Structures are given as C-alpha cells and as structure tokens.
Structure 1
C-alpha cells in the first residue's frame, strides 16, 4: 500500500509500506473527473496544473488538521499500469477504507456556503440528497467500511459525518442505521447486503455486482463482458460455496455451450487417475473451442465434486501466469503470499503439492510455449511451466494449446484433439448464440450458412454477433458471405497447423470479420480506426491510451461497438482490450492487400511514441506494458522515408530494456539506432553520441569492457561540460573500476562530480549519482571512512530530492549499511 505526503520541499511524494507497519492515514472518497492526478504524474512537475490537484490539496489539509501525515487517494496511489498491483488493489480496497483513521467524502455537486440561514440550509440538504455520490456502486463500500466518514461540500466546508447525519443518510440510501454505525456486517443476511446496492449504478454493468465483494467478504475474479445477470449468478455460486472447496473460475459458465460430449467424458474419466499429478491437454487450431471445453469441464467438476478445488490459470505469458498464481495464493491464504519478495509460483506449487485430503483441478489456458520468458518483475527469472506444476496424486492439470509440439515436452496421460464441429452440433450452437429462434422455414438457410462457415465455432460466434447486432436474417447474411468470398477467391490460403486452413480472405473467420468490418466502416468510422490500430500492435492487452479518439467516452463507445460484433474482448478494469489471434491475423492480411498496413503501422508507432514514457523509475510499469506493442510495431518493415518516429521509438524501447536489465535485447536496438543516426545525422551528432553512450553502458553491463571503452568518445566532440560527455566519462570510470584501474576511475569520478555540481547543481539527480560513484571507487581502494562520509551526504540528499523509495536511494542506503557494519567490525578487531 502506498501513502502520500508532502515532503520538506512541499513536493507530493509517496511511500510504499508493503511489508511494513502502516501508519495512521486519511483516505479520500470522491468521483473521478476528466483531469485527475495519476500515479505516473507524480514523477513530473506538471501535476499541480491538473484540476484533480485541488482534491489532493483538500485531503492533505484536512489530514493535517487531524494530525495525520499520510493520506491515500485512489487516482494516484495505485499504479494502474501494473496489472498485478491493480488486481491486488481491487481486492484490498474494502480493507483499506476500513482501516483508515479518517475518510473524507468530497462532494463537488453539493454547495454549503453557510448553514446559518434556514433557506440555504434547505438548499444544502436538497443538493446533499441529490448528490451522485449516493447513486454510485463503488461508493457504497466507502460509506460502510470506515469508522469515520466526514462529508464536505464543493468549497471544502464540512457538512457533517456519518454519525451526525446517519438518519438523513439512512433516508437517502435505505441502509440500516446499525450498518452505518459499523456493527459487524455478519448481522445482516447476504440478500439484505445485496439490497443496499439495488439502486446504485456503475459505468460497467458487471460492477453493480463486483462492488459488493468487500461487503460480502467475497474474493472472486472480475470478468467484464459476462453481463450483470451472469455476474450475479457467479456471485451467488461463490456465496453458496462458502463451505465447499475454494475455487477460481474467472468466467461465467457458457450457456451457449453445445456438443463435445465425447471429449468432455474422456477428460472427466481421466481426472485423478495417476500416482502423481495427472496431466492432460486439449489441442486444436484456433477458434475450435478449446477454452470453452475446458470451462465446461471446470463447472461440471465443481458441480459433481464439491470437495474438489478448481483453479483457472492464464498461461499465455509470464505475467498472466504470475497474476493467476497470486490470485490463487490469496484465495487459499497461503502464508507469505503478501510478501513482495516471495516467489508466488513456488509458494503455490509447494502448497498444492503437500499431502492433503482435497482434490485440485488446475486448468492452464492458452499455453503457446512451455518457457514463457522473463516476467516483468525485477530480477525475475524465466518462467517455465514445468517448474511450477505441483506434484500430487490429488492434482490434475489440463493445458489448452494450439501447438502440438507443446504436448511433446510434457508427460501427458491424455490428449484430446478438437476439430471442426459436426453439422448438427454447429446448428445447435448457432441457435444458442442467436437472440431469435431459427424458424422451420429458415433451417435450410442455417445449414447452408454453417457449411460456408466450415462449422468453426469462432466464425459461428462472429456471424451470430453480426446477425444479432444488425437484426438481419440468416439468408441476407449468407448472401453477404458469398459476395465477400467471391471478391477474395483469388487470394491464396495460408495453411494452419493440425489440418485446418485459414485463408487470409476466404477463410471463415476472415470472411465474417470483413463483413462486420464493412458495416462498421460505414456507420462507425472511429471504431474501424481503433480496429486498424489494434491490428498494428500486439494482439493482447492493448491499452486504450494507445487508441486515438477525441474524447475518452467516444473511444469507449467505439470499443463497445467492436465488442458487440465479437471482434474484441474488453478489459475495463485494465483499460485495455484483446483481439483473437485469428481475427488479428486476418485483419493484418486485409490491410496488407489494401496497401494500408504500412500506413497504420506508422500511425501506431506515432501513437506509441507519444504514449511511451521516459525512463524515470516511476514509469516502469507503463513502459513494460507498452514494450510488447512497440516492439511488435517496430518489427514491421516500413519505408525508409517513414523511419523517423520508428528510430526514436526504438531508442526509447532500448533504454527501457536497459533499465530493466534486459541487456541483450537492449543491445540489439541500440546498435540499430546508432547505425541509423550515424548514417543520417553523422557520427558526432549529439543524438548519435547519446546512443553510443547507452550502448557503451550496455556493453559494460555485459562485461564487454574493451568495447565499452572504445565507444566513450563524447568528451572530444562535445566538450567537458556537456551532459553526454559527463555520461561518457561516468561509463568510462565504471569500466576502469571493473578493470581494477582505481586511480584512473577516481580521477574521472572526481571530475564528473565537480563538473556536475558546477553545471547541473549539487542536488541534481545526475550529480548525486556521481557522488555515489566516487564513494564506491573510494571504497574499492580501501578508503572506507572517506567513502562512508561521502555516501552519507549522498544518501541524505537522495532521500530529500528523489524520495526514500527511489531505487538509487535504496541502493545507497544498502551500501552505506554494509560499509558501516564492516567498519564497526574492523574497529572491534583493532581494539
């Protein structure tokens, strides 16, 4: 948990109290506006210009009056680019409000300039009763959880608190007075607590259910897109299963699921049959329904065996795997799961592998590779699925994958291969997804349509989505399908794995996509543009900030349109969306044939360049989410005349990779940038030299000292006081230090420090870094006392300027503690 306060320089800073004792704090309850101060804004200097800063000042002033140094505001205390942190925060919100010493409710739609005049008092009460704060879903827990809730008007005047206004609040909300007085919520039945949210509204319909999690003491994954009714059903299942085995199934049961009875029976019969963990796989081409079969198995298993835990794990990449394991650890309340330094995956593996009386089914969905690569956690190692599988005869594991070679690397007891559906099952599926009943007179059209769709589930879902959205007939849609195929029949097909073929223009998924796209382009141009840009970046976790729109609400409306046609999956909690692999591939193929892929790739690169942050440590989560999209867009070859934005974005990516310690990947991009700048701008241009400096740093971190030394040439070209020269000299000093050339390193470090103090100022971050470097060099020569004295000055300044949680500050503190301890031990020995 992060808490805010103003430091001695009157600058707003945060402190991370993870794993520490949390001090008393105030908390703000408010409604978001269009110009809020966000977490990433705190690293810059412009946050005071935002309209939302007024609320921060208000909260800080009220906290100070209540003798509270720290306060919490959701807009800028949660790094919403960090999906792990965001998920944990959503599940912790009720407790954070409950544990707050004071909760201040800021009501911008309530005026209370004075309360002495009866007429104005009536006006105040009327606006208080009508305040939107009382109509929103998420403010319900903010009213009930804290012991102290105080209400303030738009001009910051105190109206009263939860106790003094309890009867008025009871009239407005119909919440019992006892609940407002913070009695144990267990005194109220589940239906009674659910009723408290009956007249409240949220932006997302599912949030009308999700906002009750804390009040009902329920831990359940969110699944936006399931709809309110499905969310209610899933919540009630969780409530009813309070005494059953804990489970996590993040999706509602698919009411449209049909067929696959044989495959479902095969999987059920093979569960828990081995002496150790039973491992199985569901394989098949994209769009054949592997995940839907696994989901049906999950619900069937839970229904038939209430003593069996079922956990759904997103294994599409290392970060998704980590988040799934963290949710599982929280659900099981595994000791140590809250420790930021703990290996959550190992904790879960050991917990599930211990001898227990409870069976457990783990479903690893979307496994495209066993080695998932490195996670975005600092110092994280490559995540290999095999390394984190529990070993117990009470555990069964199922993988879903499109890759047949995945099955060769695992010791599988059963492989279920999915193909296209039979005509009868496909017809049942189509009927289930359509809003209207297929009449007897339409049965022939339905059969012909399904035949054109190759009985492929994903194509059927997309066709049904179009028919429902446009309210058209099966016959009319089939005619559109035939016209679409006729116009594209000359283009070649691209074979897919395991037998099925997907044609770039005539395959079923591509054809249904293009029919929907044609309609969207005519009626909703902004939605079409969002789709084109999404096709130009990586298909998963596309941040909405990358998509261009005049206003956020217009962008959200466009995404809802795409979702209604079944082309994207919305992820409102993460402000992102996903595109199915086949849809993504087909759309890129269409853009290529329209000779527009280059154009949209360049547009995506320009958007990413504007969104991509600098390498300030507070932006780490943001650049990590944008990196896959930037690198995907950069992997597309663009015309030479359009490479300007590309090379700048490549440089930003390289710096981000370097900051994350991914030196091999950073080197590849830095080399490209240096070569381009050298050719276009010249070898002695400042931009070229800056990139050469970064490349030298990369070589140094790889232990390639000679190559690093050869690149440090800035002093000759730019002069001794240029920032790039100082960076080159710093790199060269570090190279000397690692080579044991201490005196040469000391001379350079001293020169950089003195120049930095004179040119940049004594408190500039680069100057502080140079002081720390000189201290390390002195320590390396055995001059411990001088090193400690210098590092103490550096640490003191870093704490004030950068903040106590900055990585540089923490590094200095750690070095200082080690040196001081060593000095004390040496002193004892000498005496």
Structure 2
C-alpha cells in the first residue's frame, strides 16, 4: 500500500489542498491534511522541522499567506529553508500559487499553478510528486460532491470581498466546516457572539475558504426583513428561474429551487446579522444545502432553529499575530500589550492596529492611553456601554480624522444618518445638490471623494462595495459600517450637526422617491429606501417631501402585503406627527387611515375600528359630509366593521359613501368603483349572493375597460366575481374564470402576495366543488403553507384557508388531522373575534362535522345545535350560513333518533333556502335530500320519494349526473354543510 502524502497548507488556501488531495486519492494515493499554523514566538526553523514528524513525503501548498503567517520576514524564511530543505529535500515537494516567495524557496522546486486549467494543474502536481498523470483513476463515488478546481469558482458566488488581513480563527473555521459536513443535508449553524467579535468576518472567510465545496454561495444581509427578502429573492436571477418582478414570486421560486436541489444541490446561504429571528425565520431555505447564520443572540439555538457555535474573543496568539500583520512596526511585546488593553476583541484590535500603522505615536504611549479609558481627553462624550478600549481608541481615531482630513470626518457624519448595512453612496453623489456646500464640493470632485472614502476604509470605519456593472471608471456603489461604529457616531454627534446631517439624508432619500408606491415596477426602489428612513430621522422630519416619502413607503408596504412592517412604521411615525401636525392635516389623516388599514389587514379589527372611529369623530364636526377625507375615513371604518361581523352597518356606510363619491366624482371613477366593490363584499357577507354577483360583474367589465385586465383591482374583481359564481353553484364557470385569474395573479403580483393567495384559494375551492380532489388537495395545501408564511398563523386569512382545508381533510378521511385543525381554527377565531362572531359559530359547526365519522352523535348534536343558535343570533334565521347550520343540526337530530324534530327543521330549511337562494341552488337540493332522509325515517316513503326525485332531477340538470354531489345523493349519503369563512 502506498505511503500517505501529507499536504501542508495555510488555512487561507485550503481549496487547493483539498483539490490536490482528491486528485491523489482518485489514484489510490492516501493523503492527510496538515494546516500550517506556526506558533508565534517559536523559531521558524523549528516549526518547519516539525513537519518532518509526518510520515513519508510532504507537499507544501505555497501561497502569500503561507509565508506571511506569524508574521515572519523573508530573512527568517530564507534561513529556515536553507537549514531544513538541503538535508531533507527528498521529503519535500511544493505547489505554488504565491505571487512572491523567499529566494530559498527555489530549493523546493515548486510547480506554479497560477492561472492554469484543471488538466494542466493536475499534470504538474502529479509529475512533481513522481506520479504518472495517465495512471488509471478510481471511479468517483460522489462526483457531485468532489472539491471544485480552485480556479473555477462556484457557479453562483455572491459574497463580500475577502479580507486579506484576516488572521487566525482556523480552529473555529474547521469546527464550522466539520459541523456542517457532519450534519449533512439541511444543516443550519448559528455563529453567535457579542458585537465586534468577528462573526461576520468568519462567515465571509468561510465562504471563500470552503466555497469550492458548493455550487451556489449566497450572502444575505439579514438585519432588516425587507432587505433580507429582496437579497434572497435576487438569487432567482442568478439561478435563471422563470419569474417576474414580484418579490413574493421570486422568493418562493428560490426556496423551491433550493429545496428541490434544482438546478444545484450543493448550496450555502449565509444570513448575516440575523439578530431578530422572527424577522427572517420564514424565509430560511430548506433542502440539501447549508445555512449559516450570524447573530448576537442565542434565539436560534434556544428555539432549535439552528445548531450554535459561540464565537469567542481572539486567543492571545491570534491577537498578537493579527496586530503585527496590521501594524508591522509592533514588537511581540507591544502587540501583546495592545491585545491586553482591548481584551482581544477583534473589531477594536483591528481599529487600534490600523491607527498605529498610520501614526507616529509610540505604541507604548498609545497603549497607555487605551488603559486610561478616558475618551473625554479627545473631545468625545459618550456612554460607557461599549467594549473595553473601544471608546478611547475610536475617540483617538475620530479626533485625528477631524484634524487631518475634515472632509472624511464630515462624510462619516453623514453616513451615520443612513442604515449602516448599505450606505447608498451612489445616491448621495447623484443628489449632491442636496448636500451642504462643503460635501457638495467634495462629491463634485471624484478624486477627492474617492480619497476621502479610502481614508475611511483605511481607518476601518467602513468597507467599500464597488459597482459590478461594466463602467469606464471604478465606482463605489455603497459602503458598510459596523453597527458598533454607527451607534458610536450617532451618539457622539452634537445635536445641531446631527439635525443638519439628518435633514440632508432625508432630502437625499426624498429626492429618490419614485412617487408611485402602487406600481410594482418601483417596488425595488422602495425596498432600497426603506432601511434608511429610521436612521435618517425621516419619521420626525417636518419637510413635506419627506413626510410624503414616509407615506409612500407605508403605502408600498400595504400594497405588498407586508402588514406588520407597515404597522410598525405607522406607529413609529404617529408619535412625532401627533406633536407636529394637526389631527386634520392631510398627511396626518393619510397616516391614521393607513394605521387603521394595517391593523385591519392583521385581523386586529377592534383596534382598527377604534382608530377609524376616532378619525371619523375628528373630521365630522369640521368637514362637509361630502368631504373626501371624511368619506375615506368612513370607508375605512366600514372595513373594520366587516371584520367584526357588523355586516349590515358596514353595508349602510358603504352604500352612503358610494353615493356621495358618485355625486362628486362620477359612478365610473376608480374610487367610486372601489366603494361599489366594498358594498358588494358587505352584500355577500349578508348572504345576498345574487346582488353581490351583479355588482362584481359590472365592476369587472368596467375595470377591464378603464384599468385593463392586468391591473390589481381588475384582477381582484375577477376573483370576487368567480367567488360569487361558486357560492351560487355555477362551478364550471367559476372554475374556468378563476383558473385564468389565478395564473394572471401569479404572473403579475407573485405567488406570495395576499391577493394572489386569495385567488389561488378560490381556485382550490372551485376544484374541490368539481370533484378534482387531487388538484384541490395540492392547491389547498400550498395556499395554507404560503398564507401561514406570509401572514402568520393567527391572521384571519390564514384561519380562513385552514378552515377550508380542515373540511377537505375530513371529507378524505384524514380524520385525526382534520379534527385537530378544525378545533385549532375555532379556538383562534374565538380568541380573536369572540364566541358570538359568525366565523366562530361557523367553525364550531365544522368541529361538530369532524365528529360525524366517529359516531359520537351526542356531542356532534350538541355542537351543531350550539352553532345554529349562535349563527342565528349573529346573522339572522334566513342567512345561508344559518341555513347551513340548520342542515347539520337536522342531520344530528336524525341520528339521535329524533326524526320528527329533524323533519321539522329540514322542512323549514328547504322552504327558506328556496326563497333565499333559489330552488335549484345546491344548498336547496341538499336540504331536499335531507328532508327525504327524514321522511324515510318517519316511514313516509311516498312523500320521501317525491322530494328525492325532484332533487335528483335538479341535481342532474344543474351539476351533471357524474358530479360528486349528484353521486353522493344517489347513494343517499346524508347531506351536510361546511362553513367557509369569506374574505373581508
């Protein structure tokens, strides 16, 4: 058996070592990997000689990092090589990707692998080791998991630039790699630790050092939900997925592609700065790949969402090595003193070493200043909740910058008024007319501007991202600032300067406002602007243009269905605006209206009603009854009342507001049409399906003519029209229309938009009514999953689709799951809306239905009777929902051997449902079949046959002889009615 070849490499170039090892092992040559990490303070000759403890031959993978660790000078390397290699030359071989090597390295006869292709690089390495490149190769059992050739990057590689000053952390990187590899498919690891400990730097280094293990490497800034969603969705383009511009659609396609492993199974997604787990937990991908998270909290580990690796401070050896690489003039003792003064915290060590590298101050004097911990000496006054040494070190740096490069210091002050994760430098330059004169002059001179940016980068204040698109000049697109620096700067700025810089940042953001928040083509721009509003102080601004931007961003969030984010932004804005603006100011009215809308869309109807009613009360005494603001406020109040089940009051409000809008703007104005749609919704919830159908039909025609078919309001009308057709029993037409409507929604609004989900929900219900059960099951399950992901488990629309899915599961014999889900939905509705709400009553009836297959008719009957009583109280005895509850209660009475009471209720139900919905409606025919069953139980066979014959004929005529409803009736299965909550 061949003796093993030991491959020694610096951690920085592990990809080369792994690839070479794989090539050798395919030829049957055993290998072992030796990470080169010379101990500081030990002679390099001893460290190099230590490699000889390995058996047989040693292949050195040489690169600049290999020679730079320590750090070690060229003279020391030459001495070590000249001492060791001549005596043991037969043991050593070398392959090199170094740009420069000590002179004595020539004795290793290294083969140069730079800029080579796979075949030639393999040939050179094997030849250097005396192995025939043409020797037979063993079959690779897992070729898709083989190390990639280092000169061939992953197919998709999007990660921050490598930090060539990165030092140490080899142990934690190896632990991370080992843990991910051992965990196998679907591994999630959270790197946790305090701010400034180097979590993000470790994650970036991991993507470069181990990136060749993957086909896709994708880095996501997860500190802000919208940014994280946008950046993960951007992967769709790089994966060549067929998607539109909508973020929800792109996100779903990306997550589906990663889960299925098509087109790539080996992927790594990094979520950086994911300190609030609930913000991004719903977008973490599943599948064969790996997820790496950096976070300041332990939430991911505690919740079981990820395995935790805690990131400690540097070891002292890592600290001294890093400090000496960053500031070569430091001696070992000085580097040790510096590390001790800053407690081995990487961020502070980087900043202090950078300052020493560019300063003439004696290191001992600087270290003494750090130990004194008195930043006030440098004109800095700030709180003490920062890491050891940070305050003083940064105070020294900032004070020096203000004295020597005031332009860079001024730029830094402006940057502090943007989000630290992506400071939009290109936008600042574009809007230089909004800058103070000294910064405008700087931005107008590209050389001075880039010089100031470079000065900031050298001080470690910021990192720079350049434009990736082809450009005649290298341009900076954005810069990033560590959050610790960002917080420090904002706290340190004098109030007058902070106000001036905030005003400047706000003007820049307002100038970038597309002013079209409902236009999906502009959503990417709003996603870019949103993270900067809070640090810029936009919510506190008195500038009308900035206030308009804030309102546009809230509207954008509402249009996208990001209701939680919209609510948070409303709440942040309300406090300062309440002080600054009158309650009747137009901007304040719009904000309050948006606040009520966000609450309503989150199912917080009582709060929405309270906000809306206060607005109506404020405006009513001072505005005309036809004032547009008052009408809009009343319309919003009506929406909250719909959610609360006060359908008649809501209908009256909508009808009155509609008439007034028609008088002001005309019947075909878009706002009037919206009121007509609201009126139709109220009518539908009142059980007046025919009236609602006619309004939706006319609206659909008018919107197709005025707004065109692809407008979101036109598509919404299409869904509502098909919904009414289905409720009226016109299943074929409803399905035909909804199939096209849902496809249009997916194409234009994306698969995660709430409006799209409503369209797909109705399509699933159409499929169910047509008996296309497999399609209905897939569609319903998908809609439930996405509604839960988008809206959360307690949102009314999530409960709506779960209620329908529970009844579907019950019909198809997943009884245990159906009952659990039905009971869960009912409990959540009761907690949200109270036990007297019609949705609570209706879903209680569904719980009773789940007991039918178990034979527990006593409990089923008690539940059915209670549901009937509550529904009658909620919506009246003639509402279709009440009639449906009566259908179920009659069935339970029959099964409890009370056929006379069952027959009485069934006969009343038949008469009422024929009057309300018509004699040929499916519910009327179900009621007739139920009545026939009760008559048979009473041995009134002739009467039963007559009723049954009429019902069967109408079922065959309306639904068809092979429809599931018709077939079930022919088998004399007892009809039932399951409650479907309706969208409000």
The normalised TM-score by structure 2 is 0.47
Counterpart for residue 626 of structure 1: 529
Alpha-carbon distance in structure 2 between the residues aligned to 1:691 and 1:296: 45
Counterpart for residue 588 of structure 1: 490
Alpha-carbon distance in structure 2 between the residues aligned to 1:511 and 1:535: 18
Alpha-carbon distance in structure 2 between the residues aligned to 1:680 and 1:324: 36
Answer whether contact 1:666 1:698 (CA < 8 A) is retained. Answer: yes
Deviations 1:468-513 (A, max 9, x none): 9xxx5554899899699572498576345xxx4254x41x345434
Match of 2:278 among 371, 376, 380: 371
Q: Which runs of 5+ in 2 are unaligned?
A: 1-146, 434-439, 469-476, 732-919, 922-953, 959-984
Q: Which runs of 5+ in 1 are unaligned?
A: 1-237, 374-381
Relative to structure 1, is the Cα distance of residues 692 and 271 closer, same or farther in structure 2, using a 3 angstrom cutoff? closer
Relative to structure 1, is the Cα distance of residues 801 and 610 closer, same or farther in structure 2, using a 3 angstrom cutoff? farther
CA RMSD of aligned residues (A): 5.2
Q: CA deviation at 1:724?
A: 0.7
Q: CA deviation at 1:583?
A: 1.6
Deviations 1:526-559 (A, max 9, x none): x544422331343223344467523796397636
Matched, 1:703 2:605: yes
Answer whether contact 2:554 2:569 (CA < 8 A) is retained. Answer: yes
Deviates most, 701-710 or 735-744: 735-744
Answer whether contact 1:465 1:564 (CA < 8 A) is retained. Answer: no
Counterpart for residue 636 of structure 2: 731
Deviations 1:11-48 (A, max 9, x none): xxxxxxxxxxxxxxxxxxxxxxxxxxxxxxxxxxxxxx
Answer whether contact 1:421 1:455 (CA < 8 A) is retained. Answer: yes
Q: Counterparts of 1:29-428 in structure 2 under 5 Å? A: 248=157, 250-274=159-183, 280-302=189-211, 312=219, 314-319=221-226, 321-322=228-229, 325-326=232-233, 340=249, 343-344=252-253, 346-347=255-256, 350-351=259-260, 363-373=270-280, 383=282, 385=284, 388-390=285-287, 398-403=292-297, 406-410=300-304, 415=309, 417-420=311-314, 422=316, 425=318
Alpha-carbon distance in structure 1 between the residues aligned to 2:573 and 2:359: 54
Match of 1:617 among 518, 521, 526: 518
Alpha-carbon distance in structure 2 between the residues aligned to 1:700 and 1:412: 34
SS in 1 for 2:282: strand
Relative to structure 1, is the Cα distance of residues 656 and 452 closer, same or farther in structure 2, using a 3 angstrom cutoff? same
Q: CA deviation at 1:591?
A: 0.8
Q: Counterparts of 1:418-817 in structure 2 under 5 Å? A: 418-420=312-314, 422=316, 425=318, 429=322, 438=328, 457-459=346-348, 461-462=350-351, 474-475=360-361, 487-488=377-378, 494-496=384-386, 500-501=387-388, 503=390, 505-506=391-392, 508-521=393-406, 524=407, 528-544=409-425, 545=427, 549-550=432-433, 554=444, 558=449, 561-566=452-457, 567-573=461-467, 575-592=477-494, 596-605=497-506, 607-608=508-509, 611=512, 616-618=517-519, 619-634=522-537, 655=555, 658-661=558-561, 691-698=591-598, 700-701=600-601, 702-704=604-606, 707=610, 708-709=612-613, 711-713=615-617, 714-735=619-640, 737-738=642-643, 745-761=650-666, 764-780=669-685, 784=689, 787-799=692-704, 801-817=706-722
Relative to structure 1, is the Cα distance of residues 601 and 418 closer, same or farther in structure 2, using a 3 angstrom cutoff? same
Answer whether contact 2:234 2:250 (CA < 8 A) is retained. Answer: no
Q: Which structure would you say has the larger Rg? A: 2
Alpha-carbon distance in structure 2 between the residues aligned to 1:320 and 1:537: 14
Alpha-carbon distance in structure 2 between the residues aligned to 1:682 and 1:302: 57
Relative to structure 1, is the Cα distance of residues 248 and 616 closer, same or farther in structure 2, using a 3 angstrom cutoff? closer
Q: CA deviation at 1:283?
A: 4.1
SS in 2 for 1:248: strand
Alpha-carbon distance in structure 2 between the residues aligned to 1:689 and 1:478: 62
Answer whether contact 2:551 2:590 (CA < 8 A) is retained. Answer: no
Q: CA deviation at 1:719?
A: 0.9
Q: CA deviation at 1:617?
A: 0.7
SS in 2 for 1:809: helix
Q: Which protein, 1 or 2, shows the higher relative CO under an 8 Å CA cutoff with sep ≥ 6? A: 1
Q: CA deviation at 1:752?
A: 3.1
Relative to structure 1, is the Cα distance of residues 738 and 502 closer, same or farther in structure 2, using a 3 angstrom cutoff? same
SS in 2 for 1:791: helix
SS in 2 for 1:808: helix
Q: CA deviation at 1:818?
A: 3.2
Larger helix share, 1 or 2: 2
Matched, 1:819 2:701: no
Aligned residues: 557
Answer whether contact 2:641 2:647 (CA < 8 A) is retained. Answer: yes
